[in-house]
Amino acid sequence: MLEARSREYVEQRVRAGVLEQGTVDLLVEMGVGERLQREGLIHEGIELQFAGGRHRIDFPSLTGGRTITVYGQQEVVKDLIAARVETGRPLLFEVEDVRPTDLESDTPAIRFRHQGAETELRCDMVAGCDGYHGVCRDAIPAGVLTEFSRDYPFGWLGILAEARPSNDELIYAYHERGFALHSMRSPSVTRLYLQCRPDENLDEWPDERIWEELDNRLDLPGWKLNQGPIVEKGVTGMRSYVVEPMQFGRLFLAGDAAHIVPPTGAKGLNLAVADVRILAEALTVWFRDGDASRLEGYSAEALRRVWRSEHFSWWMTSMLHRLEGGDDFDMKLQLAQLAYVASSPRAAASLAENYVGLERV
């Protein structure tokens, strides 16, 4: 296992925080879910806010008892690193100049530098789990991959605040000034987002302006947004992106290396876990029985869930954000869609089952 950053950096990097039921089940099954079960916050629903009201989507009653768990991605990363270190098997941090080669041979290699020494690692298989900006996808020769993408003309300005969450559950708010999300990471840390320009300049957003805008967009009579010191601030771009296939020779792409979703559906981390589950099972069959059929089917199997999640993430994004250049007609359509989801159990069930994660795709 090779990681470009330091252990400290990846253990502190704040990103996603909503784990699907299937992700939690897998982590528990793998023996790395002990702290997650102790500290994770189980949520049985989310709230949609629009047109001056809040509407709860109840997950267990709509999905046969399924829920989500709020547990920071950096906490998952800490648990996985600790488990790996305990096995005594290699996990190298701060590797440099990583170059996957000979991917079509039976012994693909990864060349890299570690602590000043040039090293070559010969492999049976290479799992390219190095994120959107990694090197594995680019190591595949031109013409092999087909790219599908959609850029959105907005981003999310996200903050982490040392403030008690103001609501027990996530609030997705559609507002004429733009989307806002109330989320949390723990009983004392709130995570909040505002729709902004993709290239928003954070210097123009002193803390007071952020709180004012959040107050505006999340406002509801009788409800108050708790404030506290902002300990992190950042802008995330919004993009949908998929490459097909997710394999070349003995290189298998997984997670953001192969696909990106806008964060509105809370799917990025869960999709990465779902890919790795399929890949691990396929590798087990190959190493144990010499049977390559599951590995050959990896890309097609993973892409089925990828595209379901791509659609759900795009749908949530389109329903909840003010569209650049959008007119009143667009707004009325969005409000009609939100009202339908809030009032029809069948429409709500569709959102709920996608949000908690479909068992089969």
Task: Please indicate whether residue 355 is annotated as part of the active site.
Answer: yes
Q: Residue 18 or 288: which CB sits closer to ligand FAD?
A: 18
Which of 193, 263, 298, 321 does the annotation list as catalytic? Answer: 263
Q: Which amino acid is at 300?
A: A
Considering only residues 190 through 249, tell me which ones interact with ligand FAD, judged by CB under 6 A: 234, 236
Considering only residues 131 through 160, tell me which ones interact with ligand FAD, judged by CB under 6 A: 131, 134-135
Binding flag, residue 177, ligand FAD (CB under 6 A)? no
Q: How far is the CB of 73 from ligand FAD (least distance, A)?
A: 6
# residues near ligand FAD by CB under 6 A: 26
Given a contact cutoff of 8 angstroms between Cβ atoms, the answer to whether 193 and 203 are in contact is no
- Main-chain dihedrals φ then ψ at residue 153, nearest 5 degrees: -85, 30
Binding flag, residue 178, ligand FAD (CB under 6 A)? no
Task: Please indicate whether residue 198 is annotated as part of the active site.
Answer: no
Applying CB under 6 A, among 7, 11, 16, 123 the residue interacting with ligand FAD is: 16
Q: Residue 40 or 263: which CB sits closer to ligand FAD?
A: 263
Applying CB under 6 A, among 24, 46, 98, 103 the residue interacting with ligand FAD is: 98
Q: Which residues on neighbouring strands pair with residue 46, listed in sequence order?
A: 57, 170
Q: How far is the CB of 21 from ligand FAD (least distance, A)?
A: 15
Q: How far is the CB of 313 from ligand FAD (least distance, A)?
A: 9
Q: Residue 2 or 348: which CB sits closer to ligand FAD?
A: 2
Residue numbers at the binding site for ligand FAD (CB under 6 A): 2-5, 10, 15-16, 73, 95, 98, 129-131, 134-135, 234, 236, 255-257, 263, 266-269, 272
